[in-house]
Structures are given as C-alpha cells and as structure tokens.
C-alpha cells in the first residue's frame, strides 16, 4: 500500500456541463467532411502497418510548469509522440472496430505508457475515444494568440481523466495554430503541441491536473482531434476515473493486507485504516457529484 498522502489532496474541480439535455449540433458539419470520413474499405488494425511510433523529441515536467507533487501521477507534464494510423471518426466497438482495436492493442498501450512514464489503461470500453471538430471559415494564414474567446476552439478546462492522448487527424500542412495550450499556476501560457504536417501527430499529458485548452487553427479548413482518455493500471496510484472495479481492487488488496496482519499478529493501525477509508470516501463523493441524469431531447 502506498502512503495515503500520495492519493490526496483532491485534484482541481472539473466543471461539468451546464445543460442537462442531450443536444444536437449547433451548426451542421460540412457535407464534404462527412463524405471524407466514410470508409470505403474496412481494415483490421495491424500495429506493424498502422502504428509508427517515434520516440519523443521533447518532454516537459510538472516541476517546469509549477505543479510538482501537488496532484500529479508522474513527474511528466506532457511529451510529444507520433502515432499514425488510418483515422475513423466514430468511437464504439460496433461502429468503429478499427479505432477500438487500435487503442486497446498492447502495442499502442505500451507506446502511450512509455510516453506517460506509467502503465496506463483506456478509461472506458464503451466510448474509447471522442472526436472534437472545429470548422474554420477564415482561411487567413495569420494566427496570433490572445485571451479573447474568439481565438479558442475550446475553453480553458481541466480534463475529467488523469491522462489524455490528443491526436490530430487531418492533414495540417496548411494550418497555423491549432495547438493545445496550458496555463501554469503563475498564469503563464504555453503552447505545447503544434499539429505539424503529419496525420496522427499526438501529445500525451496529465490533463486532469493541468489547465488546458485547444486553440483555433487558422489557414486550414478544419481542426479535428481525437481525444483518448487513460487511467493508471495500478489501482493504488491516484485515479479519478471513479470506476467500481477500482474500488473493488483496492478493497480486495486492503483485505488481503489485513488478513496477513492478523496472521502475523501485528497491531491494527487505526490511522492507516482511517486514511484508506477516507480516500475511498473522497472517490465516491466525487463520483456522486459527477453523475448527471441527462434528459431526453425535446
């Protein structure tokens, strides 16, 4: 068992959706985008063919952005990685078996874990990844950053998951901007990921503990990113995924530890058990706060 202090304090609060209803698109997607996403010939994921991992050229640590040791799972803030495979814009196993097979493959999980510096697993089996689409009607190649909302593809936020892998899907050779940006505790803003020119360029970061946003892409028609959430494989590493299997595994291992304590006639540690229960209580209370009943569409 790790020290209880390693699982606390609580991470930054995630701001949930303000709407309680399922919503449709505010603007319809261009028909050309829909046509382009259609797969004419289905493929089975093959890591030797579809995975092209290049070791990161850059790494930024939590210490460098001023949040070392507060909530982070590892010392790494983000690293640049290249993951290349044929994109598919749907995200469950029935509609997108290629995408689900790719992110569930041992080869790709090993790559993401190596980059993150800790063994990871995908957060959900049902919706293994999600797609963010930002359409740009201004094809100007002039891009500048400011704090004004019109420069943002998505607002400042903390992710709901310990780790995310953000993969750029379109050809970005004619694009300026489109980075994922982070805001440090001192207020400094860093752009951490330019889409470059390759389909599949990605960044892995501890988005649950880093305030981040997606910037608009200028000079290109669209910014399409695939965001895949991950959590730690080890149940005793801090984890805000609120999975029942996580509680089950923690309690099972704690029970095993207690049985061993009884067999070896060691003294019951009230402080240790109180801390263990308090951490699980924190997890359950956070899960309750994030459970939202979605109303039907009008």
CA angle 194-198-199, nearest 5°? 105
Residue 182 phi/psi, 5° resolution? -125, 150
pLDDT of 270 > 80? The answer is: yes
- Helix (H) and strand (E) counts for the chain? 6, 13
pLDDT of residue 198: 61
**pLDDT single digits (tens) 166-224:** 887 776 666 666 677 888 888 888 876 554 556 777 888 888 888 888 776 666 667 77
pLDDT at 119 over 90: yes
- Which DSSP string do the residues of 228-267 spell out, in sequence order? EEEEESSTTS---S--HHHHHHHHHHHHHHHHHHHHTTPP
pTM for the structure as a whole: 0.77
Q: Quickly name the fold that domain 18-232 has.
A: Jelly Rolls (2.60.120)
297 falls in which pLDDT band (50, 70, 90)?
A: low
- pLDDT value, residue 170: 72
């Amino acid at each position: 068992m790790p020290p209880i202090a390693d699982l606390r304090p609580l991470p930054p609060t995630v701001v949930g959706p303000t709407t309680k209803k399922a919503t449709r698109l505010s603007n319809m997607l261009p028909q050309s985008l829909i046509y382009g996403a259609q797969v004419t010939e289905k493929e089975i994921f093959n890591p030797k063919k579809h995975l092209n991992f290049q070791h990161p050229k850059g790494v930024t640590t939590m210490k460098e952005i001023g949040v070392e040791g507060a909530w982070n799972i590892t010392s790494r803030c983000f690293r640049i990685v290249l993951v290349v495979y044929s994109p598919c814009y749907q995200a469950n196993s029935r509609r997108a078996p290629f995408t689900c097979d790719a992110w569930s493959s041992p080869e790709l999980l090993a790559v993401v874990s190596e980059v993150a510096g800790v063994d990871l697993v995908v957060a959900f089996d049902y919706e293994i990844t999600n797609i963010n689409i930002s359409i740009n009607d201004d094809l100007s190649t002039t891009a500048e950053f400011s704090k004004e909302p019109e420069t943002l593809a998505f607002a400042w936020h903390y992710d709901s998951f310990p780790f995310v892998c953000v993969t750029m899907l379109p050809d970005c050779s004619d694009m300026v901007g489109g980075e994922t940006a982070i805001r440090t505790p001192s207020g400094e803003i860093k752009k951490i990921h330019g889409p470059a020119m390759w389909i599949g360029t990605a960044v892995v970061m501890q988005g649950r503990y880093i305030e981040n946003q997606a910037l608009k892409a200028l000079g290109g028609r669209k910014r399409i990113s695939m965001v895949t959430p991950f959590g730690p494989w080890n149940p005793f590493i801090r984890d805000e995924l609120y999975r029942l299997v996580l509680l089950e595994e923690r309690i099972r291992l704690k029970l095993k530890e207690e049985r061993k304590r009884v067999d070896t006639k060691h003294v019951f540690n009230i402080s240790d058990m109180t801390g263990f229960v308090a951490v699980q209580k924190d997890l359950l209370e956070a899960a309750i706060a994030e459970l939202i009943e979605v109303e039907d569409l009008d």
